A and B are shown apart, each in its own frame.
Chain A
Amino acid sequence: DAMVIQNPRYQVTQFGKPVTLSCSQTLNHNVMYWYQQKSSQAPKLLFHYYDKDFNNEADTPDNFQSRRPNTSFCFLDIRSPGLGDAAMYLCATSRDRGLGQPQHFGDGTRLSIL
């Protein structure tokens, strides 16, 4: 089945220690998104790639970076995690932007900060 896979499902890191979360997709979608979700709140968009074009949200802290080396993979790097960065991180894909395209979500990585 075509899907969006996030690894690891659970990640524990230390305060200030860089961490990388990964996302892969077999849907061959052009767009890949990263969301942060806290405590059953609505997901908050951090940034997205439209093909190779990176689009950052205005309120995404500089501490958060992303890489998309190819169509299938996208990474979220948190350079110096703080306690406030503990959250569920969701990766999603869509075939295109807008045009009523639904987004397909992975099961997330739950990040804990010690």
Chain B
Amino acid sequence: AQSVAQPEDQVNVAEGNPLTVKCTYSVSGNPYLFWYVQYPNRGLQFLLKYITGDNLVKGSYGFEAEFNKSQTSFHLKKPSALVSDSALYFCAVTLTSGTYKYIFGTGTRLKVLA
């Protein structure tokens, strides 16, 4: 079965420190990988995606993610966290062939402490 894991329900980080939100996936086939952020009472906002090519992907608001095929991971990173980055983060996967539907992770709540 296809699945996406976000092993941490919550990540706490001090403002100014680097942050990492983890995502691993298990799919049969080649994946397209996405990160979305959700602020309270808002919809999901697209941050970045990996399609092909360079394993390091840069996205909105200073976020980046690294695709690691051997570890089947796509961790979200930011060099210096802001309090305003506090939100719920979802990793999602689709396949390059077959189903186009998103397989979402369970979400990770990021808290950046001032």
A residues apposed to B, CB below 8 Å: 4, 6, 9, 40-43, 45, 90, 92, 97-100, 102-108, 110
Contacts and interface: CB of A to CB of B under 8 A. Distances in A.
Contact of B34 (A42, A45, A102, A106): A102
Nearest to B94: A98
A43 B104 contact: yes
Given A100-B94, A103-B102, A41 B43 contact: no
Interface stretch (B11-19, B70-78, B105-113): B105-113
Interface string B83-107: 0000010100011100111101111
Interface residues on B, range: 20 to 34
B107 A40 contact: yes
Nearest to A48: B101
Interface of B: 32, 34, 36, 41-46, 49, 51, 88, 90, 94-96, 99-102, 104-107, 109
Nearest to B48: A102
28 contacts: A9-B41, A41-B107, A42-B104, A42-B107, A43-B44, A43-B90, A43-B102, A45-B102, A90-B44, A97-B100, A98-B32, A98-B94, A98-B95, A98-B96, A98-B100, A100-B49, A100-B51, A100-B94, A100-B96, A102-B46, A103-B44, A103-B46, A104-B46, A105-B36, A105-B45, A108-B41, A108-B43, A110-B41
